[in-house]
Amino acid sequence: MAKQEDDRIGLVAALVRSSFLVDAVYAESGREHGLTPQQGKLLCVLMAQPYGMSELSGMLRLAKSSLTGLVDRTENNGLVRREADPRDSRAVQVALTPKGARLADRFYTEACGRIERLADGLDPREQESLAELLGRVVLDNNVPVVFVEPESGPARP
């Protein structure tokens, strides 16, 4: 693929490459905390509240069998637990354990700091514009809330 003369990257390439960049941060932060990127994402999602398996499947965009394996492995590590769903006696919710909540908080803090530093080359006004534009893309595409806003901090289960 040829490099453009003015070093500009098009919209599609910029979005795809930025997703790879964020995925790399998850992978690096996860390795430092003994988590796979998928486990890190699961812990961050559960920081807000427990969720049912079908909700998690949609949020994480995983097939039911893949999600079951992810929850099983994370549960075996003592980070999450399955509990009865108060709204449906046939269903379960996945919640953080105290150990999982502590690890989620450390992972979350580390990942947020690294992700925020990705935009260090932008001035504050540019960072605000980037956040506004990406926020519109996310909202326009109905992306579920899968990450607690850093300003509000993690919820404590």
- 3-state class (DSSP) for residue 69: helix
Domains of the chain, earliest start first? 11-140 (1.10.10.10)
List C-alpha distances in Å: 104 to 3, 40, 78, 114, 154.
40, 7, 12, 15, 9
Under DSSP, the state recorded for 35 is -
Give pLDDT tens digits for 21-58.
Answer: 999 999 999 999 999 999 999 999 999 999 999 999 99
Q: What is the pLDDT of residue 143?
A: 84
The whole-number average pLDDT for the span 74-85 is: 96
